[in-house]
Amino acid sequence: MFKDLFQKKRKYATVPSQRLEQTKEPAEGERPKREIPEGLMSKCPKCGSIQYSKELEKNLKVCSECGHHLRLNAPERIAVTLDPGSFIEFDAGMKSVDPLGFPGYSTKLEQQQLKSGQIDAVITGQGSIGGHPVIAAVMNFEFFTGSMGSVVGEKITRAIEEATEKKLPLIIFSTSGGARMQESILSLMQMAKTSAALARFGESGGLYISVITDPTTGGVSASFATLGDINIAEPGAVFGFAGRIVIEQTIRQKLPDDFQTAEFNLQHGQLDMVVHRKEMRSTLSKILELHDVKGGF
């Protein structure tokens, strides 16, 4: 049934690089620092170095100067991680509604859809990595800061159930500001829903690899993102429950720069490894291969 709907595969990863700069537009009256033909050059948000957008993309959006991993949107992530042409999307037509009649939510959803070219904050489907078939869910920070409402919770739960049924490994690429406030309690309950589905998947013996990308916080970090059999993060990715500002207000202290980074979490035992984007495909492929044979000797 799904096949008929989604076989006509869309091509992924086509986001003009100038979008990266849109968020960085200078305030009115402020003199733009450099004149750059739109889209031709990109600036690293971390070290500020200017590089050709094409070069940056060839480098998987990792800054050649400082190694900073720029955020990828979901189509880009699928393009750089899954085997080309292997991905078949599930539930592509699932849309958020405004269950609470929350002020401004419907308008905001439309704006987010126009801005990101996405329907909601996650893409799920089946594909392969290094020839190993996987069920994958890829979150999208560009859409509504990757917030989890009913659609994200439902699509991820269905993906987990699909993986359970098909006995396939599951990989979730997380990035999210947390639960979507505008769906209030329904968003919160998605944490329980996805985690319960993972419990069943785990009982069935399925392998779940959680890939944490920048940033992963709040309701997503406190549910499926931390529940991997193996938890991997990209270098520098912010990963934690409470936001830095909230914590600083609570403890009345300034936090160190590396607080809640992937490296900080690795040091505190919350991650299995921190993997460079260039190594991600091969690392995932290797882990999948190591789980191909169960039992042995």
Partner 1 sequence: MAGDLPFEKPLVEMRKKIAELKQFGVEKEIDFSDEIARLEERYRLLEEEIYSNISPSQKMHLARHHGRPTSLDLIGLIFTDFIELHGDRLFGDDLAVVGGIGKLEGIPVTVIGHQRGKDTKDNIARFFGSPHPEGFRKALRLMQQADKFRRPIITFIDTKGAYPGNTAEERGQSEAIARNLREMSGLGVPVVCVVIGEGGSGGALAMAVGNRVLMLEHAIYSVISPNGAASILWKDASKADQAAEAMKITADDLLAMEVIEEVIPEPKGGAHRDYESTASAIKDVIVRHLHDLAGLDADELKEDRYRKFRKIGEFAESQAAEEVFSEEPALSPE
Q: Which of residues 77-106 bind partner 1 (CB under 8 A)?
A: 79-84, 89, 91-97, 99-100, 102-103
* Residue 115 touching partner 1 (CB under 8 A): no
Burial 44-61 (b: 16+ CB within 10 A, else e): beeeeeeeebeebbebbb
The CA–CA distances, whole Å, from 230 to 76, 207, 224, 227, 288 equal 23, 8, 12, 8, 11
Site for partner 1 in 53-72 (CB under 8 A): 57, 60-61, 72
* Of 119, 139, 230, 233, the one binding partner 1 by CB under 8 A: 119
By the 8 A CB rule, do 233 and 210 touch? Answer: no
Considering only the stretches 19-27, 43-51, 199-207, 284-292, report the one whose residues sit in contact with partner 1 under the rule CB under 8 A: 199-207
* Residue 193 touching partner 1 (CB under 8 A): yes
Whether 46 has a binding-site annotation, put simply, is no
- With respect to partner 1, which residue has the nearer C-beta, 33 or 115? 115
Convert 28-68 into a string of H (helix), E (strand) and C (coil): CCCCCCCCCCCCCEEECCCCCCEEEHHHHHHCCCECCCCCC
List of residues 6+ apart from 291 with CB closer than 8 A: 169, 207
By the 8 A CB rule, do 53 and 42 touch? Answer: yes
The least CB distance from residue 117 to partner 1, in Å, is: 4
Residue 211, beta-bridge partner list: 173, 232
Residue 133 CB neighbour total at 10 angstroms: 14
Residue 41, beta-bridge partner list: 52
* Residue 242 touching partner 1 (CB under 8 A): yes
Whether 131 has a binding-site annotation, put simply, is no
Residue 133, beta-bridge partner list: 128
Residue 239 CB neighbour total at 10 angstroms: 27
Site for partner 1 in 162-191 (CB under 8 A): 179-181, 183-191
Whether 66 has a binding-site annotation, put simply, is yes
Q: Fill in the per-residue mask, 124 to 163: x = in contact with partner 1 (CB under 8 A), - = not in contact.
A: -------------------------xxx-xx--x------
The least CB distance from residue 154 to partner 1, in Å, is: 5
* Of 45, 67, 117, 235, the one binding partner 1 by CB under 8 A: 117
The least CB distance from residue 24 to partner 1, in Å, is: 19
The least CB distance from residue 4 to partner 1, in Å, is: 10
To which residue do tokens 């987010």 refer?
112
Please state, in angstroms and rounded to a whole number, the distance separating the CA atoms of residues 139 and 133: 19
Whether 63 has a binding-site annotation, put simply, is yes
The least CB distance from residue 295 to partner 1, in Å, is: 24
* Of 14, 22, 107, 204, the one binding partner 1 by CB under 8 A: 14
* Residue 241 touching partner 1 (CB under 8 A): yes
Which residues define the annotated binding site for Zn(2+)?
Answer: 44, 47, 63, 66
